[in-house]
Amino acid sequence: MMRTVEPFQPAGVAEPLGHYSNASRAAGERLVFVAGQVGINADGSLAGDDLHTQAVQTFENIRTILASEGLDMSSIAKFTTYLVDASDIDAFYGVRDEVFPRLFSDGGYPPNTLLVVSRLVRPEFKVEIEAIAAASAGD
């Protein structure tokens, strides 16, 4: 599959602080907007009560949604991540250290905005991630 999203590092901007790029270019005419995903298994059960388990399942949910459109994670143009506890930021970075090399094997990590919010739609959710993906018009 041809990569339709090209993460890049513009000159004059500091290197990213973690597994993300400062920007990406999306080629093609078809965009896929993935609603905020949380750590819920396909059967509707909560993946776990810890950030690690929920975050891993959240990325898997996004991967599954993209696959249903014939896309993979390299199609991601941007993530927006919501955490409910600032003390989970390092743990979230740890999850990305663990799963991103597998999900983005070419090392091209998409831009990500990370926000800490007071809560998500249900109090047991610790993380929510939404995504924008791009596909060429022929995909």
pLDDT in tens, 76-106: 999 999 999 999 999 999 999 999 999 998 8
The reported pLDDT for the residue numbered 30 is 75
Q: Is the pLDDT score of 1 beyond 70?
A: no
* Sheet of strand 76-83, all strands in order from the earlier edge strand to the far edge: 30-37, 127-135, 76-83, 112-116
Average pLDDT over residues 58-65: 92
Three-state DSSP class for 108? coil
Q: Which residue has the higher pLDDT, 134 or 47?
A: 47
Give the pLDDT confidence score for residue 10 in this predicted structure: 60
Identify the structural domains of the chain with CATH numbers, from first to last: 20-135 (3.30.1330.40)
Q: Per-residue DSSP letters for 20-47?
A: --SEEEE-SSEEEEEEEE-SB-TTS-B-
Rounded to whole angstroms, how far apart are CA atoms 110 and 133? Answer: 10
- Computed over every residue of the chain, the mean pLDDT equals 87
Average pLDDT over residues 126-131: 96
Q: Does the pLDDT value for residue 21 go beyond 80?
A: no
Contact 93, 127 (CB under 8 A): no
Predicted confidence at residue 137, as pLDDT, reads: 59
Query: Percentage of residues in the chain with pLDDT exceeding 90?
Result: 53
